[in-house]
Structure 1
């Protein structure tokens, strides 16, 4: 199956370029999953993070089994073994 080049989810344009963002961001919302999900051991925390000058991403929260308060500051800290972004708690 052919792979399409990336396109803007808002306008559909194929005219996009690579960019880097972060590493800090602000939590938009967060939740703790306490049910089994294939390949992951509960409990684990997920957060939607508004990356500074960048997009909103869904990320795993490193070493936490409690939800983060919206408005909390975090930093992108890498990727987990599944290729998902990971954030850690940070001060303001």
Structure 2
């Protein structure tokens, strides 16, 4: 299966996140997932086993001490199959 899917996960609560997601979509196409901070890990978990993922953009979303280790582990898995970029 070819890796062709582009996904942008961005903050839904302010203009920074919405604007960044709009720019990513305009430049690269793909799917946009607008979430608040607690929703970041859920969206990343859903991408974990998606074999069509090519690129993941994470925009305007930060971490907390409670999820930073889980975040790093998920990114270790995702980077094996996708290009990751954090825009913040």
TM-score, length basis structure 1: 0.23
Larger radius of gyration: 1
Q: Indicate the structure whose relative CO is greater, using CA pairs within 8 Å and at least 6 residues apart.
A: 2
TM-score, length basis structure 2: 0.24
More strand as a share of residues: 1
